Structure 1
Amino acid sequence: MSRVRAYIGLGANLGDPRAALDAACAALVALPDSTFAGRSPLYLTAPLGGPPGQPDYLNAVAALDTALAPGALLAQLQAIEAGHGRTREVRWGPRTLDLDLLLYGDAVVDEPTLCVPHPRLHQRAFVLYPLADLAPDLCVPGLGTLQRLLAGCPRAGIRRLDPLE
């Protein structure tokens, strides 16, 4: 079965976000019919929307070579989130773990439960900058080059963390 490079957005701002992202990557390593291909550095980012006063997020992007279909991969990601106590009570609210299927090869998926590329990918510095760490020459289906998207997305509110932080 052929594999597709998928990119997964990772985020958390409740509990121990660093441990949550590390555990999420370990879970991605264990996914069936998939090979973990790497993770970007961590970024500290201000919350985007949601209730006021929530803590900053830790964000990263992981790369995965997978033979899982997009819907099956999404189901696996949601199971990992649930295993970390993720609830969906408040839109853009605080999270123990958030895993978003950002890209699935060159596929464009527009279904009620899944849109790929992620519909707001091009507007989010906390996605674009870590994605650029993994794949600076990436072309996002329907949106153009990652470098062009970065040029239109200010870096305000995001800070790349030193590995020792």
Structure 2
Amino acid sequence: MAVVVGAYVALGANLGDAQGTVRAAMDQVARLPQTQLVAASSLYRTAPVDSSGPDYINAVVAVDTGLTATELLQAMQQIELQAGRERPYRNAPRTLDLDLLMYGELVQEDAALTLPHPRMFQRAFVLVPLHEIAPERVTAEQLEAVADQGIVRIDEAR
């Protein structure tokens, strides 16, 4: 039997029907093999950070998965591709962006994957929804550090 690991995935989109795309991606992540959705945050609206285009719709989900971190990342990239994700340049507006934030307590840094996600603690659009579903993972100091970044909850958690 596979080892089950708790993982957190950030979801964001700012092109097309961003709310619908993020909701559909939450469902797709929940349906991955050997994976069960544990919690899903509310949807949040944020201005682009290091990016351009319309406001983003963001959320975070918690899953328990038997997939390895690399397998989970590859499955997430397939979901992005199915949503029409293109990568014309760094931080381009996107139909869907999925980031693996944490995979258990794994610390990893290589060409394919860095865990925990290297910029997650600099971004309100990650920390606020993560705090909603896993308050023990985000400190008050971390939230205070991003308090100047505009973020608005637009839809209740599911």
TM class by shorter-chain length? over 0.9
Does residue 85 of structure 2 align to residue 92 of structure 1? no
- Measured against aligned partners, the alpha-carbon deviations of 1:90-132 in whole angstroms (never above 9, x if no partner) come to 2111110000000111110111110010000110000000000
Tell me if the contact between 1:137 and 1:147 (Cα under 8 Å) persists in the aligned partners. Answer: no
Which residue does 2:39 correspond to in 1? 38
Distance (Å, rounded) in 2 between the aligned partners of 1:32 and 1:162: 27
Q: Any idea what SS the aligned residue of 1:93 has?
A: coil
Which residue does 1:128 correspond to in 2? 127
Candidates 128, 146, 149, aligned match of 1:156: 149
Q: Any idea what SS the aligned residue of 2:136 has?
A: coil
CA RMSD in angstroms comes to 1.2
Tell me if the contact between 1:6 and 1:101 (Cα under 8 Å) persists in the aligned partners. Answer: yes
Tell me if the contact between 1:128 and 1:146 (Cα under 8 Å) persists in the aligned partners. Answer: no
Tell me the TM-score normalized by structure 1. Answer: 0.89
Q: CA offset at residue 155 of structure 1?
A: 4.3
Gaps of 5+ in 1: 139-144
User: Percent identity over the alignment?
Assistant: 46
Which residue does 1:116 correspond to in 2? 115
Tell me if the contact between 1:39 and 1:60 (Cα under 8 Å) persists in the aligned partners. Answer: yes
Counterpart code for 2:20: A
Does residue 8 of structure 2 align to residue 15 of structure 1? no
Tell me if the contact between 2:13 and 2:56 (Cα under 8 Å) persists in the aligned partners. Answer: yes
Q: Any idea what SS the aligned residue of 1:137 has?
A: helix
